[in-house]
Amino acid sequence: MKNGALLIPVCLGWLAIFWLLPRAKPRSRILGAIIGLAALLALQATFLPPAGNIVRDGMFYLFSGSAILAATLMITDRNPVYAALWFALTTLSVCGLFLLNSAPFLSAATIIVYAGAIVVTFLFVIMLAQQTANANYDHRAVQPVLASVMSFVMLGALLFALQEWGGIDGKADDVAREGQFVAVDASSKANQFSQPPSSNKTEIGSMRVLGRSLFSDYLYVVELAGTVLLIATIGAIAIAPRRSQGTL
Amino acid sequence: MTSTALESQLVVGAILFALGMIGFLTRRNLILIVLSTELMLHGVSLNLTAFGRYHGNPQGQVFTIFVLTIAACEAGLALSLILTLYQRRKSLDVFLWGNLGEEDLPMLSSGNAPPQAKPIDPNIDLPQLTPAGRAPSNPATKA
């Protein structure tokens, strides 16, 4: 069976997540942690071969492992404050992966927007709203069997598609193919400010290349995003409760 | 960068997406549901930047910036909605909002509908329109 190796990490991961999901009666977390680590190791052996560069591989395993670990702890923690903090750790790990993808500006922006703004405001709301520390709705998961089975079937389908795609088995060549999925249209080619695909890969995340692409090819989209931000701000102010309606 | 590194990143992105999906489906806390959607967006952003590096063009990162923008909008709106909902029911439990129907209207499928739980205080649940503009002058008092 050609794709049989895919079943081991998926089934082990499902078992770990299903074991760790919050229940009315708490379970031992050590067993779930052991199963989860076994799933990650099986996944590494099957799907995540080292690329050859030892520093890059080490950083990739570090960041991706901490991202997956923190995400697992976030969705299984019974305390919502800790869950939000685990989400902040996930964000930091993903920003490390962004750095590996030569996106330093994006990494800094994501840290500022997520860890600096979103997580902190959500933490404020959790702390304002939950004066009673133990809310029983945090201690029981909704339909844990159905939800975890469905999500892991989807994950298995994604991994299967990746495997069938061919690169994981080492069939894909190492040459980067420019514009394989998206062809550059004529109007973008005629735009003299448009940045041609850079051959220097360390440069693609720099402010210069990113800014040229943003404000030439995607100028209308930038305007549209600004409008969406403005509308969302107005909507949030309109929806949020007034002081005259009482505070929390 | 070899292609194996690309696929490793795609695998990590898929795992983050699946974990966010589990969190979205199983948690009952309103705030954690919103944070789980942000986790799914992280997985997608990881895919986008990996493809951008693989193809050597900035389009993946530009798209991730737009994802970031929409995520910020979504977080702001979700936060104000959660505050409003919390003020009505004094709880972050999403199950309290399973029924959005109005009580004085008949149910669409009358007959086998389960009996609905009464809200805590019916006066709190009524929507309040924000007074906007200026009140028109009453001609009766002016005359």
ipTM of this complex: 0.85
**CA-angle at B8, arms to A217 and A83, nearest 5°:** 90
Quick one: CA dihedral A96, A101, A105, A110, positive or negative? Answer: negative
Residue B46's domain comprises 3-92
Question: Across the interface, which of B55, B71, B86 has its CB nearest the CB of A179?
Answer: B55
The band of A97, judged by pLDDT with boundaries at 50, 70 and 90, is very high
Nearest residue in chain A measured CA to CA from B1: A174
Query: A4-191: what CATH class?
Result: mainly alpha
Candidates B15, B30, B96, partner chain A, best to mutate (most A CBs within 10 A): B15
Each residue of A15-41: pLDDT tens digit?
Answer: 888 888 888 777 788 888 888 888 888
The band of A169, judged by pLDDT with boundaries at 50, 70 and 90, is very low
Query: Is residue B78 one of the residues assigned to a domain?
Result: yes
Under DSSP, is residue B130 helix (H, G, I), strand (E, B) or coil?
coil
Query: Is residue B21 one of the residues assigned to a domain?
Result: yes
According to the 3-state scheme, what is the secondary structure of chain A?
A: CCCHHHHHHHHHHHHHHHHHCCCCCCCCHHHHHHHHHHHHHHHHHHHCCCCCCHHHHHHHHHHHHHHHHHHHHHHHCCCHHHHHHHHHHHHHHHHHHHHHCCCHHHHHHHHHHHHHHHHHHHHHHHHHHCCCCCCHHHCCCCCHHHHHHHHHHHHHHHHHHHHHHCCCCCCCCCCCCCCCCCCCCHHHHHCCCCCCCCCCHHHCCCHHHHHHHHHHHCHHHHHHHHHHHHHHHHHHHHHCCCCCCCCC
Question: Across the interface, which of B2, B21, B57 has its CB nearest the CB of A151?
Answer: B21
Query: Is residue B15 one of the residues assigned to a domain?
Result: yes
Q: Do A155 and A10 form a contact (C-beta atoms < 8 A)?
A: yes
Query: Is residue B30 one of the residues assigned to a domain?
Result: yes
pLDDT of res. A182: 46
pLDDT of res. A78: 86
Partner-chain contact A159 B11, CB within 8 Å: yes
Nearest residue in chain A measured CA to CA from B26: A142
pLDDT of res. A194: 59
Q: Which of A22-36, A76-90, A191-205, B126-140 has the lowest mean pLDDT?
A: A191-205
Query: Is residue B128 one of the residues assigned to a domain?
Result: no
Nearest residue in chain A measured CA to CA from B68: A110
CATH of the domain at B74: 1.10.287.3510
- Which one has a higher pLDDT value, B36 or A240? B36
- The tokens describing A92, both together, are 């930091």
Q: Which of A67-76, A85-94, A187-196, A237-246 has the lowest mean pLDDT?
A: A187-196
Residues of A in contact with B38 (CB under 8 A): 87, 114, 118
Each residue of B58-91: pLDDT tens digit?
Answer: 888 999 999 999 999 999 999 999 888 888 877 8
Q: Residue A165: CB partners within 8 Å, gap ≥ 6?
A: A172, B7
What does the DSSP 8-state code read for residue B103?
T
Candidates B9, B10, B44, B49, partner chain A, best to mutate (most A CBs within 10 A): B49
**Rounded-to-integer distance, Cα A147 and Cα A153, Å:** 10
Q: Do B118 and A160 form a contact (C-beta atoms < 8 A)?
A: no
Question: Across the interface, which of A170, A198, A238 has its CB nearest the CB of B56?
Answer: A198
- The tokens describing A121, both together, are 């405001």
pLDDT of res. A181: 44
Phi-psi bin for B132: left (phi > 0), alpha (psi -120 to 50), beta? beta
Query: Is residue B57 one of the residues assigned to a domain?
Result: yes
What percent of chain A is predicted at pLDDT more than 70? Answer: 79
Closest-CA distance, A72 to chain B, in angstroms, reads 7
H helix or E strand, kind and range, residue B140: helix B139-142
Please state, rounded to an integer, the average pLDDT across all residues of chain A. Answer: 81
Mean pLDDT over A113-122 rounds to 88
Q: Which of A71-85, A209-223, B63-77, B119-133 has the lowest mean pLDDT?
A: B119-133
Nearest residue in chain B measured CA to CA from A108: B65
Domain ranges of chain A: 4-191, 192-248
pLDDT of res. A180: 42
Question: Across the interface, which of A75, A105, A231 has its CB nearest the CB of B27?
Answer: A75
Q: How many domains does chain B have?
A: 1
Residues of A in contact with B28 (CB under 8 A): 137-138, 140-142
Residue B102 one-letter amino acid: E
Nearest residue in chain B measured CA to CA from A223: B66
Each residue of B7-64: pLDDT tens digit?
Answer: 888 999 999 999 999 999 998 888 999 999 999 999 999 999 998 888 778 888 999 9
Each residue of A47-84: pLDDT tens digit?
Answer: 777 777 788 888 999 999 999 999 999 999 888 889 99
The band of A152, judged by pLDDT with boundaries at 50, 70 and 90, is very high
Partner-chain contact A103 B61, CB within 8 Å: yes
